[in-house]
Every structure is written in structure tokens, then in C-alpha cells.
């Protein structure tokens, strides 16, 4: 995922309050009405577990995957990502990446992960399937008879949109004064996509809002990883406010609260502010500094020179860092974000 909010505009939107962690066991759903058995995932690198082509993606190159599974496996982290933790919460295995469906058809019973790093709701220039196309992949599996109506009714959908559309907007020379209108366009398309997933038969749909983009290492590097940038965070708050309005509208149009926002903004903010998780078991001394850093300007984690020499360094203990690279959390980072989101996940079982 590459995203850069360098644009400042005068919108001061208050984001929702922090999501508190549920300190009880992950699966305490004995008396609930809805117990999903499958997980369908749509979105970008915050949820991708292996759909990006091996010949292009850094997620298939060392040192990615060094913590889990011990080698590069398509995740944009040293280990597990958000998808893995949501699946764990459900008590199922992480769903198979769509790219592997032909090689492991027997593993499709737990759902499918369609998310692909670098993508957005619109085309972002990386030639990978945007969210509309990803939804079309599920529609194709339904037409093939891989999933029945009953399968879909007993499933959850996870949608991640982490800002690639805005990165593409900036790279294309998008103007500052036009950014609010573009944010509205992005959120409107997200709402269309969420409804499309629901209309296919998936009755419970979770969508992650934007994380505090100004706190990503690619933004905090200018302050030696000490301070977040307010302008990108203000843009993220505006996106999140519109998303909340869109989800409220979708829920008003259904018989039950079928759509839920996972508040990544508050979860990230809470962890970064506390420099660790909400139970005090894990601390990040320099939370804005990534574990894996390029040693040359313009070189990212995993970069090599023409002779194959590593142009990056990796911290000694990835579990002591919240961020893995310039935009993605470590496995330890995702684990504490998951703790902060867990009470929201419980809402999908009501």
C-alpha cells in the first residue's frame, strides 16, 4: 500500500471515541443468534494474505514473513495481518487467498480472501483487481455453485480500504481544493460495494475505516518518527465521518444492523498514544518508527541493489515495533489493534 496525504484543507471533523478491548476469551458467543462459519475478505494490503503476484509484490520477498510463517508468504508484514485475527476471533482458519483457489479447492469451505495489496475502490494504477472486481470474483464462485445461499447467510465479510485511492489521487496530480469531493466519491463507492456484498447474500458486513494516516512512518519520518501530521489525519477523519453516515444509511435500509464499522482510526490512535496494548503487556518504545527501513533514499523494506545486496535493515525484535514498514503494522501491531477492535467484533454476533 502506498498512500500520501500532503494536502491540507479546512475540515475539522471529530472522530469517534476509542474502542475498548474486551479482555474476555475471543469466542464467547455461546448464547448469540448468529455464528458465522465463513469469512469473505475484500480490500487491500491490510487484509491481503497472498493475492498479490509473486513477481511484483514485496510481500513475497525477504524479510516479509520473518515472524510468521518464517518466510515470505504474501502478507505485507513480518507475520499475521488483520484477516488472520478476525478469522481467529471467529474460530476458523484464515480464508484461502483467491489466487490459490485452483490448487486447494478443499480449503474454500472457510471462505475466500479476495483482498489484494495496493488496490482501492477504484483503479489505483497497480493493475490488480479493485474492490468491484473482487466482489465479481465472489459472484463468479456463487454462479459456479461453490457457495450456496445457506453458505452466504452463515458468513461474515471484512472490507479494508486503507487509502490507496488517495495515494493514486495525489500521484495523478489531484488538486487540494478538489480533495473533499474526491473523498465523497470514494466513500460513495464504498457504500455501493458494501451493499453489493450484502445483496449477494452475506448478511453481516464489516468495513474498516481509515487509520490515522498522518501517523504512518512515511509521514512521521520528517519528524524523525516523533510526531503525526495533522493534515492527513484531518482528511482521514473526514473520510471516516462520511463512511459513518453511509453505513448508518445502509443499516436504516435493512431489517437488522447488517453493516458495522471497525474503528481502525481509534484503535491505532489508542495503541500509538499508549505506546502499547491496552493491558500493558506489550510496549512500543518508538511506536512511529518502522522495524524494517531502507538504507537509501527511495528504497523500501526488502529492496536490493543490482547485485542482490540488501538495501534495508531490520530491527532486532519485530515484536517491539508497532510498524513493520512505512505503512503496515507488524504482527505485534495488528495483535494489539485486534484487542482494541474485539468488542466491536462482538457486535456482529448479536
Task: List active site positions.
Answer: 45, 325, 328
Q: Are strands 292-294 and 259-262 parallel, antiparallel or unpaired?
A: unpaired
Residues facing 312 on adjacent strands: 294
DSSP string, 314-334: E-S-GGG-SBSSSS-B-HHHH
Interatomic CA distance for residues 196 and 121, integer angstroms: 13
Query: 129: alpha, beta or left, given left = phi > 0 and alpha = psi -120 to 50?
Result: beta
Sign of CA dihedral 278, 282, 288, 293: negative
Backbone angles phi, psi at 175, to 5 degrees: -85, 150
User: Which residue's entry shows cell 496494548?
Assistant: 277
Instruction: Work out the number of other CB atoms within 10 angstroms of the CB of residue 33.
Output: 8
What percent helix, strand, coil does the chain show, rounded to 5? 40, 10, 50
Cell numbers linked to 174: 489531484
Nearest alpha-carbon partner for 164 in 288, 322, 324, 48: 48
> Which H or E element spans position 264?
helix 264-274
Interatomic CA distance for residues 200 and 278, integer angstroms: 37
- For 75, 200, 250, 262, 305, the CA distances from 253, given in Å and listed in that order, are 36, 16, 5, 20, 54
Amino acid at each position: 500500500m502506498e498512500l500520501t496525504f500532503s494536502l491540507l484543507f479546512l475540515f475539522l471533523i471529530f472522530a469517534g471515541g476509542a474502542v475498548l478491548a474486551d479482555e474476555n476469551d475471543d469466542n464467547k458467543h455461546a448464547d448469540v443468534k448468529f455464528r458465522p462459519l465463513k469469512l469473505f475478505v475484500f480490500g487491500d494490503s491490510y487484509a491481503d494474505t497472498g493475492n498479490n503476484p509473486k513477481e511484483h509484490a514485496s510481500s513475497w520477498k525477504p524479510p516479509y514473513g520473518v515472524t510468521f510463517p518464517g518466510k515470505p508468504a504474501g502478507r505485507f508484514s513480518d507475520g499475521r495481518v488483520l484477516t488472520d485475527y478476525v478469522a481467529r476471533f471467529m474460530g476458523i482458519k484464515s480464508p484461502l487467498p483467491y489466487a490459490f483457489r485452483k490448487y486447494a479447492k478443499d480449503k474454500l469451505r472457510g471462505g475466500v480472501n479476495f483482498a489484494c495489496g495496493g488496490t482501492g475502490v477504484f483503479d489505483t494504477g497497480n493493475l490488480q483487481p479493485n474492490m468491484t472486481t473482487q466482489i465479481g470474483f465472489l459472484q463468479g464462485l456463487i454462479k459456479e455453485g461453490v457457495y450456496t445461499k445457506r453458505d452466504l447467510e452463515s458468513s461474515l465479510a471484512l472490507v479494508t480500504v486503507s487509502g490507496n485511492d488517495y495515494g493514486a489521487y495525489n500521484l495523478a496530480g489531484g488538486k487540494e481544493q478538489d480533495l473533499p469531493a474526491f473523498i465523497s466519491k470514494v466513500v460513495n463507492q464504498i457504500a455501493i460495494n458494501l451493499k453489493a456484498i450484502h445483496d449477494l447474500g452475506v448478511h453481516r458486513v464489516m468495513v474498516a475505516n481509515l487509520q490515522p494516516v498522518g501517523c504512518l512512518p512515511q509521514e512521521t519520518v520528517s519528524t524523525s518518527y516523533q510526531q503525526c501530521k495533522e493534515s492527513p489525519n484531518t482528511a482521514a477523519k473526514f473520510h471516516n465521518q462520511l463512511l459513518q453516515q453511509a453505513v448508518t444509511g445502509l443499516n436504516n435500509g435493512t431489517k437488522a444492523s447488517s453493516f458495522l464499522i471497525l474503528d481502525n482510526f481509534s484503535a491505532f490512535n489508542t495503541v500509538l498514544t499508549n505506546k502499547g496494548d491496552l493491558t500493558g503487556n506489550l510496549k512500543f518504545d518508538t511506536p512511529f518508527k518502522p522495524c524494517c527501513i531502507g538504507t537509501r533514499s527511495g528504497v523500501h523494506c526488502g529492496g536490493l541493489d543490482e547485485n542482490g545486496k540488501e538495501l534495508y535493515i531490520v530491527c532486532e525484535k519485530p515484536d517491539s515495533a508497532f510498524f513493520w514498514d512505512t505503512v503496515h503494522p507488524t504482527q505485534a501491531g495488528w495483535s494489539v489493534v485486534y484487542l482494541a477492535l474485539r468488542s466491536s467484533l462482538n457486535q456482529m454476533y448479536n
